[in-house]
Structure 1
Amino acid sequence: MTLQPQHFLVETDWLEAHLGDPGLRVLDSTIAMTRQPDGGWQPTSGRDGFEKGHIPGAQFVDLMTELQDRTSRFAYALPTVADFEAKASALGIGPETQVVIYTAAVPWWATRLWWMFRVFGHERVAVLNGGLGKWQAEERSLTAASAAYPPADFRAAFQPALVADKAQVLAAVESGQGCVLNALSRQLFTGESDLGYARPGRIAGSELLPTLGFIDQKTGAYRPDADLAAAADGLGRGKDAEIISYCGGGIAATMNAFVLMKLGYRKVSVYDGSLAEWSADPAMPMETGEPG
């Protein structure tokens, strides 16, 4: 029987009930982030942890070495259509496959891969609510056994409306139209702390919607839709507003996009280059301090 398409969140009960379904592929996209003495963060692949124990049937996707544009000078840049098609096909993902993504660490690595699938035209993709942490807390099964599936034929249909570039962001800043949305903490937004990019602070004129406010810190699960909607309503933007989400490197920004799209916002894109690109260009305006 064909799985009913899931587009945003699936619960642990749902996933456990569907493990082994031939139309399902489960992907672990964990990257661990370790704070460094200089205040920056050091990413580490979650592959070792995956090999020690993972959700049965899951496959690991290493976003540190796979699914990024190897010609870009910016880490984690969106891969080419050909590279994404090849990787998705090798994972056994075809046009009717339901994909569920989880991480064992910060949740935006799951939304980053979710967003990639949406960018390349695959809508049967969802995130496991609460990730591996919630799965383990509920004492659900893990395995160290590897899983392999027959290759499929994934055909991408690139969705340009989901991706913003520097020129589009600058146009939004200069026109005052739309909403350029920062997904980071208030300390990073104001420039009180920084991530080691060329300049601290935020894109001039941008607004703040920190992603970690979407998560229940006790369970690791997303807060109820009413709470998410209340946070989004604080922007004062309608569901047809043009919103560009950014962060440091285009990762956390996908979590804002995920939540806003889940709530029914229809014109949400992610600035893939984010502050890594913007701050490196002295012609691009930035601000520090509190707005106003």
Structure 2
Amino acid sequence: MNTASSIPQIAAAGFRADLVRWRQLVTPGWLAALTAGAAVEAAPAAGWRLFEAGCDSAALFEQSHIPGAAYFDTGCIEQEPLWNKVSDQAMQALLLARGVRHDTTVIVYGRNNLAAARLAHLLLYAGVADVRLLDGGYARWLACGHPCAAGPAASPVAAADFGIAFPAHPEYLIGTAEARALLARGDAVLASIRTEAEFTGRVSGYSYIAAGDIPGARWGRAGEDGDVNSMSAYHLADGSMKPAADIVAQWAEYGIVRGTPTAFYCGTGWRASMAFFYAWLMGWPDISVYDGGWFEWSQTAPAV
């Protein structure tokens, strides 16, 4: 089992030495070599899949995308009115139709990399064993000068079965009842991955959600006030993940610490999924995403 002290010795060149699951955060250079057919370190299994995750952005995908990618719209995996995950049956069908089994390596990126994090989290929930995220997303790919392709993606070959019970990791996702139980324990944390203005109730951040936040939650930070797509507290200027130690320190300031059962949430799930994925990369145990987040909580309880 990997420990924090062993990470620098095992991380391959080009990968993050400060992450337990260092293979799961890939660089644009690594992905460019892989898509070009070159030999790469920590190579995925045969039959790997590359998805661009987005919301109503299929037209942009067809204009320009990473070679070899297929488009995966988050509208397929979330449903109104709360934008929570679709049913397990529907989720499994979506993955099988795209050729994804539990043993398929899936690499995800996005123009908004929060969409990719949302998909990545649900892939882990489903039980896909090897899920990888492009650090910095499509913007960093372009900034590094890597080639792009145009046109629709080729139709995938569907998978006949997922290969294991679905979902394999239901503990990675909780609902409102479980979130309430977590708060009542006293030895667990609901971590609000929202801006300071959202967390303090000064603004909602969304046109369709009331202002406020969950009483008893701890602030896990997010990004700039007024921008629900910003995760600048977690990212360097190029959009890549900050050093793990920096993220751990900002969490610890508000009592979010490794080993304490922690459920991340935001407004509807995207920012929380990014925080979850980074904690997962660091090897944190007992972590989950509260899928309903403030949107669902606000429908059933008064604001702070």
Please give the TM-score of this superposition, normalised by the length of structure 2.
0.80
8 Å contact from structure 1 (residues 197, 279) kept in 2: no
Aligned twin of 1:30: 54
Alignment equivalent of 2:167, drawn from 130, 152, 157: 157
SS of residue matched to 2:107: strand
Return the match for 2:31 from 15, 39, 59. Answer: 15
Q: Which moved more, 1:109-118 or 1:190-199?
A: 190-199
Instruction: Tell me whether 170-179 or 271-280 shows the greater mean CA deviation.
Output: 170-179
Worse-matched range after superposition: 120-129 or 21-30: 21-30
For 1:177 and 1:73, the matched residues in 2 are separated by 32
Aligned to 2:41: none
Residues 23 and 96 of structure 1 are in contact (CA less than 8 Å); yes or no, is this contact kept in structure 2?
A: no
Cα deviations by residue, 1:122-144 (Å, 9 ceiling, x for unpaired): 12111100111011111111011
In structure 2, what residue type is equivalent to 1:162? Answer: Y
- Structure 1 stretches lacking a partner, 5+ long: 32-44, 288-292
TM-score normalised by the chain length of structure 1:
0.83
Say if 2:245 is the partner of 1:239: no
- The residue aligned with 1:270 is 289
Deviation of 1:154 after TM superposition, in Å, equals: 4.4
Query: Measured at CA, do residues 198 and 135 of structure 1 come closer, stay the same or move farther in structure 2, by a change above 3 Å?
Result: closer
Which residue pairs with 2:15 in the alignment?
none
Residue 136 (structure 1) aligns with = 142
**Is residue 2:196 matched to residue 1:181?**
no
Q: Summarize the Cα distance change of 1:154–1:223 in structure 2 as closer, same or farther, 3 Å threshold.
A: farther
**C-alpha displacement at 1:152, in angstroms?**
1.8
Moved more, 202-211 or 82-91: 82-91
Q: Is the 8 A contact 1:232 1:260 kept in 2?
A: no
Q: Residues of 2 paired with 1:210 and 1:220: CA distance?
A: 16
Amino acid at match of 1:187: A
* Greater CA drift, 132-141 or 174-183: 174-183
The runs of 5 or more residues in structure 2 that have no matched partner are 1-20, 38-45, 223-230
Larger helix fraction of residues: 2
Q: Contact (CA 8 Å) 2:103, 2:129: kept in 1 or not?
A: no
SS at match of 1:199: coil
Contact 2:101 2:128 in 1 (8 A): no
Identity %, equivalent residues: 26
Q: Given that residues 191 and 218 in structure 2 are in contact (C-alpha distance below 8 angstroms), is that contact kept between their aligned partners in structure 1? A: yes
Q: Distance in 1 between matches of 2:160 and 2:255?
A: 42
Q: Against the structure 1 CA distance between its residues 92 and 244, is the aligned structure 2 distance closer, same or farther, given a 3 Å change threshold?
A: same
Alpha-carbon RMSD across the aligned residues, in angstroms, is 2.0
CA shift in 2, pair 1:240/1:135, >3 Å: same
Q: Distance in 2 between matches of 1:236 and 1:110?
A: 27
